[in-house]
Amino acid sequence: MATAHLTAVDSTLVLLTVEEAARRLQIGRTVCYRLIRSGELESITVGQLRRVPADAVPEFVTRRRKSQRPTIAAAA
């Protein structure tokens, strides 16, 4: 019997590492960096560290959903 491994999400975090943001989006780290480089996913630097604001993740998903909605409606 397979058991799904769920990681607890700390809702108190203000900034996420790129790996944490990727995990929340269920994408790979490389794809997450690509989204950051393209400007689709907001990020900031703290010293030499790259961080993703925690609220940028749901904002990214909301923008993606809105931009894809017309495509889905047109296909129906």
For 17-66, how does the pLDDT look when each residue is reduced to its tens digit (9 = 90+)?
A: 999 999 999 999 999 999 999 999 999 999 999 999 999 999 999 999 99
Q: Count the Cβ atoms, other than its own, within 10 Å of residue 56.
A: 19
The rounded distance, in Å, linking the Cα atoms of 20 and 9 is 9
- Split at pLDDT 50, 70, 90, the class of 1 is very low
Q: 44-55 burial string, b = 16+ CB within 10 Å, else e?
A: eeeeeeebbbbe
Judge whether residue 6 has pLDDT over 70.
Answer: no
